[in-house]
């Protein structure tokens, strides 16, 4: 699977451009603010129906205009697909596959598997538990549409239960039957989500360790620990046990919406002891393990986006990453960086097929 070409119209700092890509490695060089990351974000849009950086669609429209269009032609399992995304102010976002519009955007998720690694991933280490849950959920949703439905239904049930708890807090009126109804639904959806998350983390850990060891070359021990209240008590009993506390605070304090992922290096939280280089290596290895996981489940190599990830990494780790992703286990790759000097030497020394593009003020020029 690969992206043949991409057309942008009024997307972020791009007025209009069309670019054809290599099936293997595509490198984009240019100064900060030139549009390198915006290009990768457009490719991300084609997979997930949204920006990786700005959740408000209309804010991705070029300044003072009222619409943008992204269109990509893909080869997926030897079949050609045209994917169209159109966003216009005050209108519903349009997503089309081969000129046929999706009724629900969720129908498109998973068609074009993709993994993006960017400096913003540091939030997985520095941010709260919600960021790490979002990471887990986004990975699983790429290959399991039923999981996405479970999440949606769980959030609906949680919203209803929280409203009941707030009403109890405000009015002191307690409707036992209504609480039990939403407890049953939360338990049904939440238990399945917990089981899927548990299996996902269990499968991810050895692959994650393998990639970290390859990049770091120093044998450091890393680990991922899935933290959930459901390891201690089943869902219904947990809800019943926490009910009095929930009544006092006015919201649900037990459930999979409180889960977390503990990221450790040498047995300690990497946020506390990891250097910038170690943290970045950790995140790159985690995302590459995610790539491997999706590839094996879907029997297809996801597109890999590497957005300015080499800063704070020593030259040996940069070389290891490039050699790794350029091998046959990976498919099409898009790389952005400020300088081409060091990367070009790695490509040349290792005979890696690639295309080079220079990006400047929203213009993309292939370097011959």
Average pLDDT over residues 289-296: 89
Distances (CA, A) of 231 to 129, 144, 193: 17, 23, 13
* Residue 156 CB contacts under 8 Å (≥ 6 apart), including other chains: none
For 210-229, what is each residue's pLDDT tens digit?
A: 888 888 877 788 889 999 99
pLDDT-derived band at 319 (thresholds 50, 70, 90) equals confident
Residues above pLDDT 90, as percent of the chain: 57
pLDDT at 329 over 90: no
Query: What pLDDT is attached to residue 3?
Result: 96
pLDDT-derived band at 342 (thresholds 50, 70, 90) equals low
Average pLDDT over residues 280-293: 90
Q: Of all helices (H) and strands (E), which one includes residue 317?
A: helix 315-325
pLDDT at 351 over 80: no
pLDDT at 349 over 80: no
- The structure's pTM equals 0.85
For 24-43, what is each residue's pLDDT tens digit?
A: 999 999 888 889 999 999 99
Pairwise CA distance, residues 51 & 9, whole Å: 15
For 57-82, what is each residue's pLDDT tens digit?
A: 999 999 989 999 999 999 998 899 99
| Tokens standing for residue 82 | 């045209």
Q: Residue ranges per domain, the chain?
A: 1-113+301-368, 125-299
pLDDT at 340 over 70: no
Query: What pLDDT is attached to residue 303?
Result: 94
- Decide if 57 contacts 51 (C-beta within 8 A): yes
Residues above pLDDT 70, as percent of the chain: 99
Query: What pLDDT is attached to residue 341?
Result: 64
Strand order in the sheet with 14-20: 14-20, 2-11, 67-76, 79-88, 94-97, 100-101
For residues 129 and 328, the model is more confident at 129
Fold of 1-113+301-368: Rossmann fold (3.40.50)
Query: What pLDDT is attached to residue 296?
Result: 87
Pairwise CA distance, residues 161 & 112, whole Å: 36
Q: The dihedral of CA 25, 26, 29, 32: what is its sign?
A: negative
Share the mean pLDDT of the chain: 90
Average pLDDT over residues 262-284: 89
Query: What pLDDT is attached to residue 343?
Result: 75
Q: Select the CATH number that applies to the domain covering 125-299 from these four: 1.10.443.10, 1.10.3720.10, 1.10.1370.30, 1.20.1050.90.
A: 1.20.1050.90
When mean pLDDT is compared across 170-184, 198-212, 230-244, the lowest value belongs to 170-184
């Amino acid at each position: 699977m690969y992206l043949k070409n991409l057309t942008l119209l009024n997307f972020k700092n791009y007025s209009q451009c069309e670019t054809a890509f290599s099936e293997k490695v595509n490198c984009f060089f240019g100064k900060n603010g030139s549009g390198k990351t915006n290009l990768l974000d457009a490719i991300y849009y084609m997979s997930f129906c949204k920006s990786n950086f700005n959740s408000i669609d209309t804010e991705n429209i070029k300044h003072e205009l009222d619409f943008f269009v992204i269109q990509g032609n893909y080869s997926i399992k030897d079949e050609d697909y045209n994917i169209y995304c159109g966003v216009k102010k005050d209108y519903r976002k349009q997503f089309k596959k081969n000129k046929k519009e999706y009724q629900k955007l969720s129908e498109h998720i998973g068609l074009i598997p993709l993994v993006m690694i960017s400096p913003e991933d540091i939030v997985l280490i520095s941010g709260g538990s919600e960021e790490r849950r979002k990471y887990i959920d986004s990975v699983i949703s790429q290959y399991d549409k039923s999981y996405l439905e479970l999440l949606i239904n769980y959030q609906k049930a949680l919203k209803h239960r929280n409203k009941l708890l707030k009403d109890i807090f405000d009015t002191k009126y307690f409707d036992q039957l209504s609480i039990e109804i939403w407890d049953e639904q939360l338990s049904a959806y939440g238990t399945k989500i917990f089981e899927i998350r548990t299996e996902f983390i269990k499968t991810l850990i050895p692959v994650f360790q393998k990639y970290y060891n390859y990049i770091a070359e120093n044998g450091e021990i890393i680990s991922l620990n899935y933290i959930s209240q459901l390891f201690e008590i089943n869902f219904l009993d947990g809800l019943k046990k926490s009910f009095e506390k929930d009544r006092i605070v006015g919201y649900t304090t037990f459930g999979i919406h409180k889960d977390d992922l503990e990221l450790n290096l040498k047995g300690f939280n990497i946020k506390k002891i990891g250097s910038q280089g170690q943290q970045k290596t950790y995140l790159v290895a985690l995302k590459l393990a995610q790539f491997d996981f999706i590839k094996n489940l879907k029997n297809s190599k996801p597109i890999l986006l590497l957005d300015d990830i080499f800063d704070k990494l020593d030259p040996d780790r940069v070389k290891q990453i490039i050699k790794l992703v350029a091998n046959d286990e990976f498919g099409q790759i898009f790389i952005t960086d400020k300088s081409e000097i060091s990367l070009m030497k790695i490509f040349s020394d290792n005979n890696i097929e690639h295309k080079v593009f220079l990006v400047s003020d929203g213009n993309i020029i292939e370097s011959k």
